[in-house]
Amino acid sequence: MAAIAPRRSGARRVDAARARTSRALEKMGAHVFDAATHGMFVWADFGHDTNTIAARGAQEASCVRRQPVFADPAGEHLDARLAATCMNPTALRFLARAVRD
């Protein structure tokens, strides 16, 4: 029977995903703020309305979604909370295009 890996290895994978996502977002021009030291979420300011970005993301089947629990339904929102573990290459390419447009 295989030994069960310690829970810490899972936390390290999440930490690594969050760090990779933060670096990728900053490279594309987003401002990462409130950088958590633990957990799976990254907050970033995209300089563009994230409601519009999320609507486009839904059409393109990316996993970029607004977090409605934090959103004011009226007006423009420049920030978004992203699940770092969902930021696969397709989602990151989409975000890079959205930030450029």
Q: What is the 3-state secondary structure (H, E, C) of 41-76?
A: EEEEECCCCHHHHHHHHHHCCCCCCCCHHHCCCCCC
Radius of gyration of the chain (CA): 15
Q: Are 59 and 95 in contact (CB under 8 A)?
A: no
Residue 19 is assigned to a structural domain of this protein: yes
pLDDT digits (tens, 9 = 90+) for 33-73: 866 677 788 888 888 888 788 888 777 756 666 555 455 56
pLDDT band at 27 (very low <50, low <70, confident <90, very high): very high
Residues 45, 58: Cα–Cα separation, whole Å: 19
The DSSP bridge partners found for residue 44 are 32, 80
Number of domains making up the chain? 1
- Domain with 25 in it: what CATH number? 3.90.1150.10
| Residue 13: Cβ within 10 Å count | 11
64 lies in which domain range? 12-100
Residue 25 is assigned to a structural domain of this protein: yes
Residue 90 is assigned to a structural domain of this protein: yes
Residue 53 is assigned to a structural domain of this protein: yes
pTM for the full predicted model: 0.73
Task: Return the percentage of the chain with pLDDT > 70, whole number.
Answer: 72
Residue 5 is assigned to a structural domain of this protein: no
Residue 43 is assigned to a structural domain of this protein: yes
For residue 28, the one-letter residue type is M
- Whose tokens are 């607004």? That residue is 66
Residue 3 is assigned to a structural domain of this protein: no
pLDDT band at 100 (very low <50, low <70, confident <90, very high): confident
Residue 30 is assigned to a structural domain of this protein: yes
